[in-house]
Amino acid sequence: MINKTKVLFASAEVAPFAKVGGLGDVSGALPIALNGLESESFDLRIFMPFHARVREYNPPHHLIGSFNFKLTNDTNLQCELYLSQIANTKVYLLDDEYINHNSPVYHGDWRLDGLKYVSFSLLVLEAAKYLDWQPDILHANDWHTALAINALEQHYKKDPFFKNTKTVLSIHNLPFNGWGSQEAMSMLGFYPTTDPDLPDWAKFTPLPMGISATDLVITVSPGYAKEITTPHFGCGIEHYLQKHEYKLMGILNGIDVDSFNPETDASLPYQFSTDRLYERVRNKLELQSQLGLDVGHQHPLITMVSRLTHQKGLDLLLDGLEKIVDQPWQFVLLGTGETEIENRVSHFAKRYPNKIIPILKYDEKFARMLYASGDMFTMPSLYEPCGLSQMIAMRYGNIPVASATGGLRDSIIDYQQQPNEATGFLFTDISADGFASTLSKALELFEDKVIWTQIQRNAMQQDFSWHHSAITYANAYKNLLNR
């Protein structure tokens, strides 16, 4: 019998059970890809909170049992443990009084979020003991589960059950570090780390505590791993990350290439491939007609599917479009977000009603139509740890015009640097001028159908599958266990 490598994968959100952002996408896809590797032998199991949203989704599940966890103040925290499944992967749903109260995945109230995720970080370890399932690797994700790694150091150091457990911490977005959870941490028995390399404020903040205690830190792109060691992106712990760079690496996320497949996507009026790009144009013409835009393949159609937040560069985008408003283009934006940005987008659209169409909602089917219809896909992010939208856009032949940051730089081959292999356009001057200048070059090149078609084909042939990423994760796991 083959001994499988046991990986406890802990995450606050897991698609399709409960998804808020990219963390949910990764946590729903990477474990399945790892368990599916024929060249490896993993027994990777997902542990997540039994959120109200999971109850609404209501996947098949059953109660395994319950156990008590004794807190430092001698009170007991009772946990119920349920088992469900996503494809080839077991999913354990944990419930306690801080998780189950019809709450959203994230409250936005730091005390309540702190109690939910600090307790969850402890209970995933207790759940493993209850199951008598000794993990070779504990893989935590972001601040919500980082304290599970720290708990191994603070609460379980002498426990033989976890004696050989190695730890991995994935950082999906460094600025979200769990600050505000201090009351919950104190209440549930955590104390500040004594790591002298961390700044004082970080010694009792969940994500830096996890980074300090873990064996390996993985960011969601190689570019972001480098960026967070700099003052601009390091969120105050860049000096720590520089000093401990030996345990830092980046692995680019993937996408579900079976779901995002223009040849089989049933949500599209016209499926297409690199050999049938004329069918793609029919999607564009239909979308233009549907939205009341001037209909014609010669009209450049610019698109964006995004959360409307400051990070995503919406101010930069609108200011940049203003600079080239006299050029021929149409722009369709889909997304929701900060009220101030939504209002600015609406005001901009009123000023230029024939050029910009804002659709201020989330609509998966319409998002796919935009990916499959647009000529250019804008991502002027101020920073982007990985980004998935640019990969989906390329899969559908929608050419990204994006900031040269994080995962965008890692996944897009810039036309200005490598014209023959290009899959998009990057701008290093992350400003309205830099965006406008690069978008203008793309619009100019759009007129040359031979070159543009080659860029589309290059983009559509990129391998962004999770299988590709999973192999790199598997190697990282093996290197960690062989140290």
Report which of 430, 384, 21 is spatially closest to residue 224, judged by C-alpha positions.
384
How distant, in Å, are the alpha carbons of 44, 63, 91, 464 from that of 16? 18, 20, 12, 20
Residue 8 confidence (pLDDT) = 98
CATH superfamily entry for domain 5-254+467-481 = Glycogen Phosphorylase B; (3.40.50.2000)
Residue 100 confidence (pLDDT) = 74
Residue 72 confidence (pLDDT) = 75
Q: Alpha-carbon torsion 138, 144, 149, 152, what sign?
A: negative
Mean of all residue pLDDT scores within the chain: 95
Q: What is the pLDDT of residues 397-444, one digit of tens each?
A: 999 999 999 999 999 999 999 999 999 999 999 999 999 999 999 999
The percent of residues in the chain predicted with pLDDT above 90, rounded, is 93
Q: Is the pLDDT of residue 365 over 80?
A: yes
Q: Is the pLDDT of residue 74 over 80?
A: no
Alpha-carbon distance of 464 to 99, in angstroms, equals: 35
Q: Alpha-carbon torsion 166, 248, 181, 340, what sign?
A: negative
Q: Which fold has domain 277-463?
A: Rossmann fold (3.40.50)
Alpha-carbon distance of 390 to 395, in angstroms, equals: 9
Residue 191 confidence (pLDDT) = 94
**Beta carbons of 33 and 467 less than 8 angstroms apart:** yes
Q: Is the pLDDT of residue 356 over 80?
A: yes
Q: What is the pLDDT of residues 204-252, one digit of tens each?
A: 999 999 999 999 999 999 999 999 999 999 999 999 999 999 999 999 9
Rounded (10°) CA dihedral 394, 395, 397, 403:
-10
**Beta carbons of 153 and 201 less than 8 angstroms apart:** no
Amino acid letter, 267:
S
**Beta carbons of 274 and 461 less than 8 angstroms apart:** yes
Helix (H, G, I), strand (E, B) or coil at 154: helix
**Beta carbons of 388 and 238 less than 8 angstroms apart:** no
Q: What is the pLDDT of residues 306-351, one digit of tens each?
A: 999 999 999 999 999 999 999 999 999 999 999 999 999 999 999 9
Residue 362 confidence (pLDDT) = 86
Residue 21 confidence (pLDDT) = 84
Tell me whether the CATH fold assigned to 5-254+467-481 matches the one assigned to 277-463. Answer: yes
**Beta carbons of 382 and 317 less than 8 angstroms apart:** no
Residue 1 confidence (pLDDT) = 55
Residue 98 confidence (pLDDT) = 92
Q: Which two tokens stand for residue 134?
A: 């000794």
Does this model's pTM top 0.85? My answer is yes
Q: Alpha-carbon torsion 449, 450, 455, 460, what sign?
A: positive
Residue 102 confidence (pLDDT) = 82
How distant, in Å, are the alpha carbons of 308, 319, 344, 347, 358 from that of 350? 18, 15, 10, 5, 10
Alpha-carbon distance of 78 to 81, in angstroms, equals: 10
Amino acid letter, 169:
L
Domain regions of the chain by residue span? 5-254+467-481, 277-463
